[in-house]
Structure 1
Amino acid sequence: MESELVSIIIPTYNRGEILPFTLQSVLKQTSSSWECLIVDDGSTDGTKHLIQQYLKDPRFIYIQRPTTRKKGAATCRNIGLENAKGNFIQYLDSDDTIAQNKIEVHSELLKNESPLCLATCKWGRFYVKSKKVVVHEKMPTYFSTNKPMELLNIFGNMSSYLPIHNYFIPIQLSNIAGKWNENLSNNDDGEYFTRIFLNCDKVKFTRRTHVLYRAGTSERISNLENRKNIQSYILGWKLIDEHLEIRGYPKHTTVKYAARNLFTKLKETVFKDLLTEHQLFFNKKRSLSEHLILKFFGKAKIWKPFRKFSA
């Protein structure tokens, strides 16, 4: 029996030269039950022409962001959601890849699960210059749980994460969590996936598939390179803090770690005036002793106790 339709959403901007590498990983999927929505954020490099061979396959759908819509990846992902026809959502950045069995494995994994069950998998890096591929076999985020907040706790306590194309999201869960915040130019993924975690009822992890994050390229730009990005980063964490507090998780370690980490980075930069402007936010930073304790246990790979620690 054919799997339910999966909507793969790819925002892109001037990635015409490397986007085919990403699209090829979609085309090679062992499952044929997918649509791929490529949402162009106003590229000027002839992206549509450079991917023309893929557009011959009707499963690839090219959408130009209307000029009336706000520029940005968050908007493009929302446009993808608005046009998606699938039962599951698979996000994918325009320079990353998914294993050829990801759609099949994750569809099968969630076939008999709740429509609020989230799926994850292994992840790794593809090094552009050396062509080397490294898939991480042991990470503190590799586990299944009936308490999704345990995974969010690990993000904060162990300074860990999962790239956005790791997740496989039922459309019902996506609808309940809501759309991407288009007012965030940075940290929009953290804010969005916090809402996903707060609304899902289970996380199922599998080692049978993986995703790759492109590394070793100048294409990626530092998310703290200018004042606007930093302001958005802070706003994102303030919203995350609000979401968590409303749902009964005040002073969550994820927020405290982020505040402390950013505080350390900003106090030596020209943007240190933001420390005063957002003083209440930075008051959430964890104590140095707590930070060092968690760092030690992280190196020791004693992860499980910290899955439940969220205060």
Structure 2
Amino acid sequence: MKISVILPVYNAAKYVVFAVESALQCKEVCEVLLIEDHSPDNALEVCGQLAKRYDKVRLLQHPDKENHGAGMSRNLGIENATGDFLAFLDADDFYLPNRFEAEKELFQNPAVDGVYGALGVHYYSKEAKEHYYKVFGERLTTVYQRHSPESVFPGQLGMKGSFGLFSIDTLTLRKEALLNKMDIFFKDLRIHEDSEFFFRLSFYLNLYPGILDSPIAMRGVHEHNRITEIETKKIKPCTTKILLWKEIRDWAEQEAQVSEDIKLHIRRMHQSFEIANAPLLKKARLIIKYLICDYPLIRNGLYNINFRKLSTQIFC
């Protein structure tokens, strides 16, 4: 296997060396692509030093040298990758030595387009653990059962009960499958760009479970990473999820291969977050609007919404 690891870097000078060296410990890694995204710290200098120190490390920037976000940075990495397989790593996270253990065997099957695994938690300081332990604890981010590729897309949509999650750090893709089956990779979103990508990815590609019961990579938790701001509600999570589900809804409506029942489910999810995030008067207006717009579906028994639940329960 020849794996290109794509690693966006923004304001992570303290952590990126550890991230890079954790990837280089894996003999399957043929290159680490550092996409320096106009960081306000000295990340560019640190990345340059890493590129000089290690033959497998390449440093890239966007053509205009400006900040474009993690999604666009990953796209730049995909465009420049030379490996047969693609893996991703955030600059404040790191791989474990077993990162590609399952992938080596699974990718021998040409039907396997991608493999996902479990993510653990590492606290970079005592202060970070005190602040964010209630958010992450020692829990794995993982998919709870082994699912067939056909079940991954509806599972992420919430149509398969308690499905779980996988992380960008634990995803490995066959590059040829990604390039041949998807026209758009990561979209230009500043929040949830990876989640939006996962939805479309699992629709077009055959994704298989790797190691789900123990971590193959670790989420690095500190005081300044984006996910902690969202999870601790410094950034209101309902608002970001409305935008995420709007993106998914708009894509699904344009994709002829998405079935009508799935489109209805996606529409419901978007509506649910809109209602949950609205003030009381707007909740009532939205419920009336959706009742009017979707009455034929409700009448035909195709659209079962509990509006009382939607108007009172916080969905995020």
- The answer to whether the superposition gives a TM-score over 0.5 is yes
Residues 122 and 142, structure 1, Cα contact 8 Å, conserved in 2 = no
Q: Give me the whole-angstrom Cα distance separating, in 2, the residues matched to 1:231 and 1:7.
A: 34
Residues 181 and 192, structure 1, Cα contact 8 Å, conserved in 2 = yes
The residue number in structure 2 matching 1:169 is 173
How big is the shift at 1:119? 0.7
The residue number in structure 2 matching 1:107 is 104
Aligned to 1:90, the other structure's residue is in SS state: strand
> Once the two structures are superposed, what CA deviation does each residue of 1:169-221 show, in whole Å capped at 9, x if it has no partner?
11123212233344322222222111111112342332475221123533336
How big is the shift at 1:73? 1.4
Aligned to 1:172, the other structure's residue is in SS state: helix
Aligned to 2:97, the other structure's residue is in SS state: coil
Q: Give me the whole-angstrom Cα distance separating, in 2, the residues matched to 1:96 and 1:69.
A: 23
Superposed CA RMSD in Å reads: 3.9
TM-score normalised by length of structure 1: 0.73
Whether 1:144 and 2:147 are equivalent positions in the alignment is yes
Given residue 229 of structure 2, which amino acid in structure 1 is its aligned partner?
A: S
- Runs of at least 5 residues in structure 2 that lack an aligned partner in the other structure: 130-136, 295-302
Given residue 11 of structure 1, which amino acid in structure 2 is its aligned partner?
A: P
| Percentage of identical aligned residues | 19
Alignment counterpart, residue 214 of structure 1, candidates 214, 217, 220: 220
How big is the shift at 1:129? 2.2
**Which has the greater radius of gyration?**
2
Residues 35 and 61, structure 1, Cα contact 8 Å, conserved in 2 = yes
TM-score normalised by length of structure 2: 0.72
Structure 1 residues 11, 33: closer, same or farther in 2, change over 3 A?
Answer: closer
Which structure shows the higher helix fraction? Answer: 2
Q: How does 1:1-311 map to 2 (within 5 A)?
A: 3=1, 5-29=2-26, 31-55=27-51, 56-67=53-64, 71-114=68-111, 116-130=112-126, 134=138, 136=140, 140-147=143-150, 148-154=152-158, 157-158=161-162, 160-175=164-179, 176-207=181-212, 210-220=216-226, 222-223=229-230, 234-245=242-253, 246=255, 247-248=258-259, 249-252=262-265, 256-257=268-269, 259-261=271-273, 263-265=275-277, 267=279, 287=306
The aligned length equals 279
Q: Give me the whole-angstrom Cα distance separating, in 2, the residues matched to 1:234 and 1:62.
A: 35
Residues 146 and 209, structure 2, Cα contact 8 Å, conserved in 1 = yes
- Runs of at least 5 residues in structure 1 that lack an aligned partner in the other structure: 296-311
